[in-house]
Structure 1
Amino acid sequence: MFSMKGDPIKALSGFKLPAGAYVAIVSEKPESVSAIRKSVRGRVARVTEVIERTGHQTQVDREPLVDKSAFAPDARSRAVLEGVRIAQQDLRDAGGAYDLNEVRTLMRGVSRQAIDKRVQEGSLLAVPGPSNRRSYPTLQFNRDGTVVPGLKAIREALQTSNSWTVLNFLSHPDVRLGRRKPIELLKSGQLNLVLEAARRHCEQGA
């Protein structure tokens, strides 16, 4: 590649390009393209192509206005994200969740209003699902479709209205229960043991 000083049209007058060689006119200013197009059409037999550098491309070549380190989430933001990941894993480990229609089937056609009432009072556990619709963790249901008793009391003992916190407590082995899962003891009717563990869990913050 080489460049010419002065008027390149005059410099190339009478010059025969060898096979495979091309001539390009390059402008750093987009507004000059129109003038270049008019100029070469009057002095060159045929214009093969005029390539314009768009404003977007020019902007990409510039230094970024904001340093990329400014976009990195801080410790608090990373903690929020990690909390979401933990909640998702808790739900997977607990066996997933039913949607509303599936819960109505399990509960022998109970009305939506009745389900909403149980969620509000805490005797039925629901978490935000796809499109922010309620989903109902499967671990709270017995084999016959009934809901494990004691969920409202457990939530009160944990002193929380956060359904993810309740799910986390129910689905993980607890050293206060001999490494057994609280939900397993609830299903076997040992509510008092689980309530005591929930109170201690709340007091210790772990």
Structure 2
Amino acid sequence: MSSLDDKERELMDVLRNRVHHAFMAARKGGVPHSAFDDAEALAEAMIAALPSSHVFDRLVGPFYDTAGLVRWLGTSRQAIAKRVHAGSLIACQLEDRQWVYPVWQFTSSGALHPGLNDVWKVLRAGADPWTCAVWMCAENEQLGETAVEAIRAGRTSAVLELAHVDAARWGA
């Protein structure tokens, strides 16, 4: 069984338990059954926070779409857009103009990995977001791992040094 299958089973078990407890609380609280009439909309809202699949997943994914990120971070579309514009959130635009946000940029609490923002700003000075995202996820001979892995391991200064070199070369 693949690890994705294991994760699906684990998530379904947790969801089943939490939905059951939510319904128990609704019963105790006198919530009318009509609050749960649109099961499809409820399910859609629940899965919106899951990373979505795109053709670029193999290179730099998985991703959150905007709706999923809004739900996961508990913020607004406008706040997401402001963070993207300020450079404090990594976003790539698909051909259909939809924005996607690589999952690897986030810690489990939703914050950006320390140092990642500095590396991203250096890279973006020399290239478009997709090129930068591929650079972050490609195996790097000097690092012996991807830039994302090195940042997670606390090796941000080494990644930043390589980012400066490559961004300067891209801009030349």
CA contact (8 A) 1:124 1:151 kept: no
3-state secondary structure, aligned to 1:184: helix
Counterpart CA distance in 2 for 1:196 and 1:203 is: 11
1:100–1:135 Cα contact (<8 Å) kept:
yes
Provide the secondary structure at the position in 1 that maps to 2:100.
Answer: strand
Q: Quote the offset at 1:204 in angstroms.
A: 4.2
Structure 1 distance, partners of 2:71, 2:95, is 20
The match for 1:121 among 86, 94, 98 is 86
- Distance in structure 2 (CA, Å) of the matches to 1:111 and 1:161: 28
TM-score normalised by L of structure 2:
0.58
Residue 112 of structure 1: CA displacement?
1.8
Looking at structure 2, the residues matched to 130 and 106 of structure 1 have their Cα atoms a distance apart, in angstroms, of 24
Q: 1:104 to 1:149 in 2, by over 3 A?
A: farther
Is residue 154 of structure 2 the alignment partner of residue 185 of structure 1? no
Aligned to 1:162: 128
1:176 aligns with 2:128: no
Q: Which amino acid aligns with 2:85?
A: Q
User: Counterparts in 2 of 1:48-87, with a 5 A limit?
Assistant: none
What is residue 199 of structure 1 aligned with on the other side? 164
Count of paired positions: 116
- The alignment's TM-score, normalised by the length of structure 1, stands at 0.49
Decide whether aligned partners of structure 1 residues 89 and 130 sit closer, same or farther in structure 2, where only a CA change above 3 A counts.
closer
Deviations 1:127-157 (A, max 9, x none): 1136311111122122333222334321332
Shift of residue 202, structure 1, vs aligned partner: 2.4
User: Contact (CA 8 Å) 1:126, 1:136: kept in 2 or not?
Assistant: yes
More helix per residue: 2
Relative to 1, partners in 2 of residues 1:161 and 1:115: Cα closer, same or farther, differing over 3 Å?
Answer: farther
Tell me what 2:102 maps to: 137
Q: Whose Rg is larger?
A: 1
Deviations 1:26-51 (CA, angstroms, capped at 9, x unpaired): xxxxxxxxxxxxxxxxxxxxxxxxxx
Give me the whole-angstrom Cα distance separating, in 1, the residues matched to 2:57 and 2:66. Answer: 16
Alpha-carbon RMSD across the aligned residues, in angstroms, is 2.3
What is the DSSP-based 3-state SS (H/G/I as helix, E as strand, rest coil) of the residue aligned with 1:135? strand
Native 8 Å contact 1:123 1:149 kept in 2: no
Contact 1:170 1:181 in 2 (8 A): yes
| Structure 2 unpaired stretches of 5+ | 1-53
For 1:176 and 1:145, how far apart are their aligned partners in 2?
Answer: 29
**What is the CA–CA distance in structure 2 between the aligned matches of 1:103 and 1:115, rounded to whole Å?**
8
C-alpha offsets along residues 77-128 of structure 1, whole Å, 9 cap, x if unaligned?
A: xxxxxxxxxxx86542333211112112222x12222211111122211111
- Aligned residues of 1:90 and 1:168 also touching (Cα < 8 A): no
